[in-house]
Structure 1
């Protein structure tokens, strides 16, 4: 970054007085105050949110120009500066912690100051001068943190889920579907209560995982309709004081053109600013995806346990050594990593639920928490889907000998005899076989319950997998 002064500091002022700001930085007095006052944790404000708010600032400048409230030259400077922020050029200029004002005011002002100072620089004016572009009067014109910040959360969350998460879910589901098709004729024993049950095919089992993922994706996509209603134009309390008529509509029209989806500001702004039910509901949809992934990876590691002293029906890729002391050990590490990540998402969903209930009169004061967790969880789940697909599912194979052994030894194949000889006689065959260490066929003949020919006709694992209408 270019030095802007021979001194390491410059003086900037806000409504509370003067503040020393590092000379090379584009942020101003309010950001510097916040940087020193909110040194909580290691959770910086998510950059996708910064980029989304920068896009709002650019659209707002254009809308104000259309309405005759901002001259073309200032609009151009602000637009260029905001676009640079959107593109990530000035990511290092946003140092603030998530744990700040519940409205996100410090981050909104961080954006206003960076854009204003960069705009002044583009105009040939010194940083901090505010002579041609003012952070409040121009960059924040027609806006309040209370409507801009939640609008940014909506845009950043929707964008991440639409462009990253949904494709990642779809790719993982497709990978499972390919395995299900390839293994559609492999008959295995089913398990309920972790005990032997009737047969199904491996393709049928895996198709359930794919269907869970497709359903989770559909729920997330259905939530976009509510996410795309934003409170822009409500300013401080929802009345729109300080924003000219038509400002919100013009801004949303530009956002819609740039994002390629329809953003609306026609909802009840008092509801959208006093509470954030749409964001809470979308987080619930992410939790449901996390629950599906958690179930799937637990199924996989159960089916792969062994390889010799467990079920061992699935063979997982050996991505890395599994033990520092046991040579040759391979562990289901992808399953474990995703299980931990999904547990984290489920926990963060509870934080979002609490935050969403934190509306105080005309404003919810947990906005940064909602932003952090929605964006973080969307990114984490995207990564989970990608990692599972590439490092586990695509290299997963079957242990046919184990599958056939468990299938053929299962006592629950006797279920096919119940309609033929009755439940009680079938139960006696299973109990006798288990007690005496016999096969079902041997036990049935020994008890003279059914002929060998009739047994062979009735007990056919492949036929038992047919889906009944």
Structure 2
């Protein structure tokens, strides 16, 4: 077959262009392919699925409103549902970095569904071609549908993946908190000795931090349910049936079993990407706290002979190409890297958010990709963190006890008995002689039964 036989010629408002013969996409997608060879990054299937949901819902709504013939509408719905189910994923070929607002991506979806629906049409229908704009995109604009698809994809991923895995992380940390509650250890502030505490109390702080972040994510994600479908280009609902916007949201809700709703003021939805920005801010905060927790665990597990070694992590792989037997905290390091990436992504989304001008934010393709990628990598990182690290952590009670008994912070118990200044002097002398607080008191003849009882670590917890 010659090169020319591998292509077909299609026409759009700019003229003719050659498109691969077997492609379901058409002229506008092909132009975007040729214009934007930037990163080889493609949109995830979550947003393609959401776009298919919107196209199927739009066709069903337009049929219900009697502005789209059932023969055409049913074919569009079938083709769109195939897109939802991933049948044509290989037809979505555009680079993430493309023309603003997602127009190219919207037309990629429109063209694939139009050509597939045409293929599905009964030859006896008398319809020669289903049009990507006139039929598939009826009552729609890129500006409302791509924005809505981004939010539908995000809330589905949050509900189905991220929130459940964060709940699992909370439960596992809470379980470890209970398991480690009998182990008494030295607390640390500024990385220096502090008063005694329980290892379980330390883990309870980690658990409650995640619990609070779950609530915060649920709150910030609620704004994603506001979708301005039917707003069309700028929110004025031009060329849109007056009942369309309410009916399509009902259809989306039926298909997703989620409570999407109309924005109170649709122009706010069209002008801004506030919901994704808010969610990304929460993902950034989750990342900050996960970095704190994983960094703590790396410190607590440091050693095993020259560090703290108060906990032991599961061994998952060799840690050195030169030092035999070395095992590193690989899962914690991976989680830290993912969180750094998400923090960087949040900056990208916030910066893109500043590009909202007048009636639209043209940076929606970048925002959509970055938001969905953040949710995805955080889900996988936390899932791995639980299964390959947190669930297998063990507490080293003897080491915790040794550190706690040698801690200079035990001198805190003496303040109510002999005063702050005198207690400080005892602590300084113990440090200079490299002996314990109790040994210092014994040497000075100050170890009374009252003081000995006060120095019991559990009494300080």
Per the shorter chain, which TM-score range? over 0.9
1:223 shift after superposition: 1.7
* CA pair 311-130 structure 1, distance change in 2 beyond 3 A: farther
Instruction: State the match for 2:402 in structure 1.
Output: 405
1:7 shift after superposition: 3.4
The yes-or-no answer on 1:20 pairing with 2:15 is no
Instruction: State the match for 2:335 in structure 1.
Output: 338
* CA pair 130-306 structure 1, distance change in 2 beyond 3 A: farther
Instruction: State the match for 2:100 in structure 1.
Output: 102
- Partner Cα separation in structure 1 for residue 426 and residue 450 of structure 2: 14
Give the alignment of 1:444-459 within 5 angstroms.
Answer: 444-448=441-445, 450-459=446-455
Aligned to 1:200, the other structure's residue is in SS state strand
1:442 shift after superposition: 1.8
Asked whether the 8 Å contact 2:438–2:447 carries over to 1, the reply is no
1:438 shift after superposition: 2.1
Aligned to 1:39, the other structure's residue is in SS state coil
For structure 1, list consecutive stretches of 5 or more residues without a partner in the other structure: none
Instruction: State the match for 2:457 in structure 1.
Output: 461
Instruction: State the match for 2:311 in structure 1.
Output: 314
Aligned to 2:50, the other structure's residue is in SS state helix
Deviation per residue, 1:234-256 (Å, 9 max, x gap): 11111010110111111100111
Asked whether the 8 Å contact 2:263–2:269 carries over to 1, the reply is no
Instruction: State the match for 1:61 in structure 2.
Output: 59
Aligned to 2:208, the other structure's residue is in SS state helix
Q: Alpha carbon RMSD of aligned pairs, Å?
A: 1.7
> Bigger shift: 412-421 or 192-201?
412-421
> Bigger shift: 9-18 or 183-192?
9-18
2:140 pairs, out of 127, 133, 143, with 143
Instruction: State the match for 2:181 in structure 1.
Output: 184
Aligned to 1:224, the other structure's residue is in SS state helix
- Partner Cα separation in structure 1 for residue 449 and residue 434 of structure 2: 22
TM-score, normalization: structure 1? 0.95
1:165 pairs, out of 155, 162, 165, with 162
Instruction: State the match for 1:363 in structure 2.
Output: 360
1:267 shift after superposition: 2.6
Instruction: State the match for 2:200 in structure 1.
Output: 203
Deviation per residue, 1:122-174 (Å, 9 max, x gap): 1157xxx9833110000000000011000011101111011100001011111
- Partner Cα separation in structure 2 for residue 34 and residue 208 of structure 1: 50
The yes-or-no answer on 1:415 pairing with 2:403 is no
2:298 pairs, out of 290, 296, 301, with 301
Deviation per residue, 1:251-288 (Å, 9 max, x gap): 10011122222111243222111111121111101111
Instruction: State the match for 1:352 in structure 2.
Output: 349
1:42 shift after superposition: 2.6
Asked whether the 8 Å contact 2:8–2:18 carries over to 1, the reply is yes
1:40 pairs, out of 32, 38, 46, with 38
> Bigger shift: 190-199 or 262-271?
262-271
Asked whether the 8 Å contact 2:71–2:121 carries over to 1, the reply is no
User: What number of residue pairs does the alignment pair up?
Assistant: 458
- Partner Cα separation in structure 1 for residue 441 and residue 252 of structure 2: 72
Aligned to 1:324, the other structure's residue is in SS state coil
1:326 pairs, out of 302, 323, 333, with 323
- Partner Cα separation in structure 2 for residue 438 and residue 302 of structure 1: 24
Deviation per residue, 1:14-44 (Å, 9 max, x gap): 1112221111111111111111110011321
Deviation per residue, 1:176-217 (Å, 9 max, x gap): 111111111111100000111011111110011111111111
> Bigger shift: 302-311 or 270-279?
270-279
- Partner Cα separation in structure 2 for residue 196 and residue 131 of structure 1: 80
> Bigger shift: 113-122 or 258-267?
258-267
The yes-or-no answer on 1:216 pairing with 2:250 is no
- Partner Cα separation in structure 1 for residue 248 and residue 143 of structure 2: 16
